[in-house]
A and B are shown apart, each in its own frame.
Chain A
Amino acid sequence: MADLTTRFLGIESPNPFWLASAPPTDKEYNVRRAFEAGWGGVVWKTLGAEGPPVVNVNGPRYGVLHGPDRRVLGLNNIELITDRDLETNLEEMARVKADYPDRALIASIMVPCEEAAWKAILPRVAETNADGIELNFGCPHGMSERGMGSAVGQVPEYIEMVARWCKQYYDRPVIVKLTPNITDIRKPAEAARRGGADAVSLINTINSITAVDLDRMAPEPTIDGKGSHGGYCGPAVKPIALSMVSEIARAEATRGMPISGIGGITTWRDAAEFMVLGAGTVQVCTAAMTYGFRIVEELCAGLSDWMDEEGYRSTADFVGAAVPNVTDWKNLNLNYVAKARIDQSLCIKCGRCYTACEDTSHQAIAMTPDRVFEVIDAECVACNLCVDVCPVESCIDMVPMAPGSLDPRTGRVVSGEHGDWTTHPNNPMAQAAE
């Protein structure tokens, strides 16, 4: 059983699995039960400034995208930050931290973009003995209309400024939570680093409308006949989050900056994927909201078994391990040639590969009258579409051609040398090899 103990910004937690700032971490009752269930840490539901708290809608606040059998693939919400008053939250945080000193407890904060507001709240948070703070610059709905959340997160200069205030008035780690509702995720991350933030966490939710009610002619969730865009999360956002994490992990300006990965993490494998792309811890929301706190048992057991199999002694051994292999398209080896190969013993003759290739790709799969499907090497560009649509795992394989063999599609001999776009003859910008 591998040791999952994780150190992130000097904060130790028994495992890298934290609950993201959201309803699962909204109050003492939830957080105590989460810790009892085994979660390594929590980011408390985002706190607002002193005074009357925000209010939430009193109708549906979630919309959903279902997969087969009503499996939750994506969730969207129009919930705001905590709607309980600051004092209550702070008292509860202090009590919970005192009772669970071995767990990470991070305070998430969103107050107006004014120095006074941050200066006022930070000492209060420090008194709870929380291990650090996370600045919520991500919430894409409601709060952004009031100049907070993603409205700040979309302006790198604001991020830098607020991060600097936080480092000035607070002496524990500062994490900046990024909004994905931006064109280039590296810009806010760079700003956070410039402002002195210790880490970034990402992603927060994505602007979305999950569905439209065709009877009421209104987006869902619908409140009294109207709907508003909400924040999207859950398994559907994982690919977007993974890419954003990897961009920050490999960019020169942000390389080495600790990352807490968030977005669609549902199983240990999702978590491992975030971690090898550079995340030191991961945060989970939708999966917990769908299945409850107990999923942490599967997350821990799965990750630990995988680590044992691979010989990793601690999470630090593999965090970032895949980052060197994330590159720009222009560096991909254009001399690498593969061909799809159908394993006839596994093929169930559904013909999906045929339709996909025939209708929308390269007409590289042939069908015999008795419905045997074979790849035509002279046409196959190895696009992988057939592999993706085939219902049988491992039935179609992408087999690399050995250097020296003849590619029947191009009539050229497969080269063993690396050759990419930067030196390709068709590239007008190519630098001639010296």
Chain B
Amino acid sequence: MPAQPQTGPIAGRLPAETLAANFADLHPPLSAHEARVAADRCYFCHDAPCVTACPTSIDIPLFIREIQAGRPETAAREIFEANILGGICARVCPTEVLCEGACVREAAEGKPVEIGLLQRHATDSLMARQGHPFTRAAPTGRRVAVVGAGPAGLACAHRLARYGHEVVIYEGAPKPGGLNEYGIAAYKAVDDFAAREAAWIMGIGGIEVRHGQWLGREVTLEALRAEYDAVFLGIGLSGVNDLVVENPALEGVHDAVTFISALRQTRDLTTLPIGREVVVIGGGMTAIDCAVQARALGAESVTLVYRRGRDRMGASRWEQDLAAQRGVRLLFEAAPVALEGEGRLTGVVFERMAEGPEGLRPTGERFTLPADQMFRAVGQRIGETSGVETAHGKVVTQGCGRTTMDKVWAGGDCAAGGDDLTVTAVAQGRDAAEDIHGSLTE
């Protein structure tokens, strides 16, 4: 008789081979022939809606045509010109709501051109050569501090370095990449891609990264403003929103981002503990990724509970379907009110919610889900801001990332205006760099 699955977060629920399969590349790369066939489907549209839908405005028809003509590396240059993180974007962008969602073939047949996979084909081809495709302009002697080595910081630093400015990145974490390294679902960035990409970006030269440098601790904004010609803040959202429930301090209750970060940094996934009956609270990409990866680690049941209706979920329909396919149960219009257990979590009590014109309203009807592990994924918020003006939890910016503080720019998740996506962070970092460059060469 097989042993009864054990309760409580424990490691090694699945053998290594199963884990390897569960965490394999979500969208395996196209072969050269597949890429040609996929590229042939592009109509080379005029004023292409896919380009409009790409936050970094990559010239999609042109790069696809270059693949079609047998020059994936030429295509990659075209991509990197607009988006130096085109490699990770090809893997993590919710293309179904961005470029592919706007593709005319999506409208025509419900089968868009596979822009993401083609972008990956091109960027992989070029990066496989290891050569960095751009050369740095002659040094200008101007110096810029970039805080945070996430997508926004890296994009900003690269563009500035290309113009010949000297860039020093102050990063608190031990590795560069931001959420590419610590947040994105493991199966979206396999084979240590985030670290490889960051190293490849540094190939431009003129960028120094100082790790273990937290703004507000090891370094102050005052000092940076004094030492550098400009400062760019790309610090993302380092705070985590709290969940107000009765009895919150039980063993088995975690923040989703902490769990994901640990997962991303664990080499041997058989050593990572996971519960048997897991509950995830939240409705965004983080909640979905947390739930899917909990299942992939071997949790017997995973239930994602979102307080509003399906349509209001931050995660796209495609992401929701992915979760459902991977065995995650999605529950809508219910909010946690209390946690059960003595010392250890044993269950979560929910109250059904109703969404009406006056907003979200508790109905009084309650139910309990047994749970030995629960993850909170109810949003991140800005952390250290060192006196820069914020509003609605974001740094206030005007135009291309200028904050209201002299010599300070901001972009990415920490700044207003983006969609909290990798690609919007890249766009904002890049555009801020252009603006900084403009102001330095005035």
Which of B36, B46, B49, B108 makes the CB contact (< 8 A) with A352? Answer: B46
Find chain A residues with CB under 8 A from B47 CB: 351, 367, 371
CB pair B45 A352 closer than 8 Å? yes
Find chain A residues with CB under 8 A from B318 CB: none
Complex Cα spacing A13 to B277, Å: 75
Decide if A355 is an interface residue (CB 8 Å cutoff): yes
Decide if A392 is an interface residue (CB 8 Å cutoff): yes
Of residues 6 through 45 on chain B, the ones whose CB sits less than 8 Å from some CB of chain A are: 33, 36-37, 40, 43-45
Which of B40, B43, B49 makes the CB contact (< 8 A) with A68? Answer: B40
Complex Cα spacing A358 to B327, Å: 52
Q: How far is the CB of B244 from chain A (nearest CB, A)?
A: 45
Decide if A269 is an interface residue (CB 8 Å cutoff): no
Given A355-B46, A371-B49, does the pair A350, B104 have CB atoms closer than 8 Å?
A: yes
Q: Which residue of A lies closest to B42 (CB)?
A: A350
Find chain B residues with CB under 8 A from A354 CB: 46
Find chain B residues with CB under 8 A from A351 CB: 45-48
Decide if B107 is an interface residue (CB 8 Å cutoff): yes
Q: Which residue of A lies closest to B68 (CB)?
A: A68
Decide if B407 is an interface residue (CB 8 Å cutoff): no
Which of A70, A367, A371, A391 makes the CB contact (< 8 A) with B43? Answer: A391
Q: How far is the CB of B67 from chain A (nearest CB, A)?
A: 13
Question: Interface residues of B, CB < 8 Å — how many?
Answer: 15
Find chain A residues with CB under 8 A from B44 CB: 352
Decide if A330 is an interface residue (CB 8 Å cutoff): no
Q: Mask for A50-84, Cβ within 8 A of B = 1, else 0?
A: 00000000000000000011100000000000000
Decide if B175 is an interface residue (CB 8 Å cutoff): no
CB pair B37 A349 closer than 8 Å? no
Which of B36, B37, B46 makes the CB contact (< 8 A) with A350? Answer: B46
Given A68-B37, A68-B40, does the pair A348, B46 have CB atoms closer than 8 Å?
A: no
Question: Interface residues of A, CB < 8 Å — how many?
Answer: 14
Find chain A residues with CB under 8 A from B48 CB: 351
CB pair A350 B40 closer than 8 Å? no
CB pair B108 A348 closer than 8 Å? yes
Complex Cα spacing A350 to B107, Å: 10
CB pair B108 A392 closer than 8 Å? yes
Decide if B105 is an interface residue (CB 8 Å cutoff): yes
Q: Which of A354, A355, A371 has the most CB of B within 10 A?
A: A371
Complex Cα spacing A350 to B45, Å: 5
Find chain A residues with CB under 8 A from B37 CB: 68-69
Q: How far is the CB of A41 from chain B (nearest CB, A)?
A: 37
Q: How far is the CB of B290 from chain A (nearest CB, A)?
A: 38
Given A348-B107, A349-B107, does the pair A69, B49 have CB atoms closer than 8 Å?
A: no
Find chain A residues with CB under 8 A from B49 CB: 349, 371
Complex Cα spacing A231 to B43, Å: 32
CB pair A349 B104 closer than 8 Å? yes
Complex Cα spacing A21 to B226, Å: 86
B contact face: mostly helix, strand, loop, or mixed: helix
Q: Which residue of B lies closest to A373 (CB)?
A: B46
CB pair B40 A352 closer than 8 Å? no
Q: How far is the CB of B41 from chain A (nearest CB, A)?
A: 8
Find chain B residues with CB under 8 A from A392 CB: 108
Find chain A residues with CB under 8 A from B104 CB: 348-350
Find chain B residues with CB under 8 A from A355 CB: 46
Q: How far is the CB of A134 from chain B (nearest CB, A)?
A: 39
Given A68-B37, A69-B37, A371-B49, does the pair A352, B43 have CB atoms closer than 8 Å?
A: yes
Find chain A residues with CB under 8 A from B33 CB: 70
Find chain B residues with CB under 8 A from A350 CB: 43, 45-46, 104
Q: Which residue of A lies closest to B33 (CB)?
A: A70
Q: How far is the CB of A391 from chain B (nearest CB, A)?
A: 5
Of residues 64 through 117 on chain A, the ones whose CB sits less than 8 Å from some CB of chain B are: 68-70
CB pair A348 B105 closer than 8 Å? yes
Q: How far is the CB of A89 from chain B (nearest CB, A)?
A: 40
Of residues 335 through 358 on chain A, the ones whose CB sits less than 8 Å from some CB of chain B are: 348-352, 354-355
Find chain B residues with CB under 8 A from A371 CB: 47, 49
Of residues 303 through 319 on chain B, the ones whose CB sits less than 8 Å from some CB of chain A are: none
Q: Which residue of B lies closest to A346 (CB)?
A: B108
Of residues 58 through 87 on chain B, the ones whose CB sits less than 8 Å from some CB of chain A are: none
Complex Cα spacing A123 to B410, Å: 94
CB pair B40 A69 closer than 8 Å? yes
Q: Mask for B357-390, Cβ within 8 A of A = 1, else 0?
A: 0000000000000000000000000000000000
Complex Cα spacing A392 to B105, Å: 10
Complex Cα spacing A355 to B44, Å: 10
Q: Which residue of A lies closest to B44 (CB)?
A: A352
Q: Which residue of B lies closest to A392 (CB)?
A: B108
Q: Which of B37, B104, B107 has the most CB of A within 10 A?
A: B104
Complex Cα spacing A352 to B108, Å: 14
Q: How far is the CB of A121 from chain B (nearest CB, A)?
A: 48
Complex Cα spacing A68 to B37, Å: 6
Find chain B residues with CB under 8 A from A69 CB: 36-37, 40
Of residues 281 through 302 on chain A, the ones whose CB sits less than 8 Å from some CB of chain B are: none
Q: Which residue of B lies closest to A371 (CB)?
A: B47
Complex Cα spacing A349 to B37, Å: 22
Q: How far is the CB of B437 from chain A (nearest CB, A)?
A: 31
Q: Mask for A390-419, Cβ within 8 A of B = 1, else 0?
A: 011000000000000000000000000000
Q: How far is the CB of B74 from chain A (nearest CB, A)?
A: 15
Complex Cα spacing A351 to B48, Å: 8
Complex Cα spacing A68 to B108, Å: 20
Of residues 187 through 243 on chain B, the ones whose CB sits less than 8 Å from some CB of chain A are: none
Q: How far is the CB of A68 from chain B (nearest CB, A)?
A: 4
Find chain A residues with CB under 8 A from B46 CB: 350-352, 354-355, 367
Complex Cα spacing A355 to B45, Å: 9
Q: How far is the CB of B111 from chain A (nearest CB, A)?
A: 12
Complex Cα spacing A352 to B47, Å: 10
Q: Which residue of B lies closest to A359 (CB)?
A: B46
Complex Cα spacing A371 to B48, Å: 10
Q: Which residue of B lies closest to A358 (CB)?
A: B46
Find chain B residues with CB under 8 A from A349 CB: 49, 104, 107
Of residues 94 through 147 on chain B, the ones whose CB sits less than 8 Å from some CB of chain A are: 104-105, 107-108
Find chain B residues with CB under 8 A from A367 CB: 46-47
Find chain A residues with CB under 8 A from B40 CB: 68-69
Complex Cα spacing A351 to B102, Å: 14
Complex Cα spacing A210 to B44, Å: 25
Q: Which residue of A lies closest to B43 (CB)?
A: A350
Complex Cα spacing A369 to B104, Å: 16
Q: Which residue of A lies closest to B108 (CB)?
A: A348
Q: Which of B33, B44, B45, B46 has the most CB of A within 10 A?
A: B46
Find chain B residues with CB under 8 A from A352 CB: 43-46
Q: How far is the CB of A361 from chain B (nearest CB, A)?
A: 14
Complex Cα spacing A352 to B49, Å: 13
Complex Cα spacing A350 to B44, Å: 8
A-B contact pairs, 29 of them (CB 8 A): A68-B40, A69-B36, A69-B37, A70-B33, A348-B104, A348-B107, A348-B108, A349-B49, A349-B104, A349-B107, A350-B43, A350-B45, A350-B46, A350-B104, A351-B45, A351-B46, A351-B47, A351-B48, A352-B43, A352-B44, A352-B45, A352-B46, A354-B46, A355-B46, A371-B47, A371-B49, A391-B43, A391-B108, A392-B108
Which 8 pairs show the lowest CB-CB distances between chains A and B?
Answer: A351-B46, A68-B40, A348-B108, A355-B46, A348-B104, A350-B45, A350-B43, A350-B104
6 further contact pairs, Cβ within 8 A, besides A348-B105, A391-B43: A69-B40, A350-B43, A351-B47, A352-B43, A352-B45, A392-B108
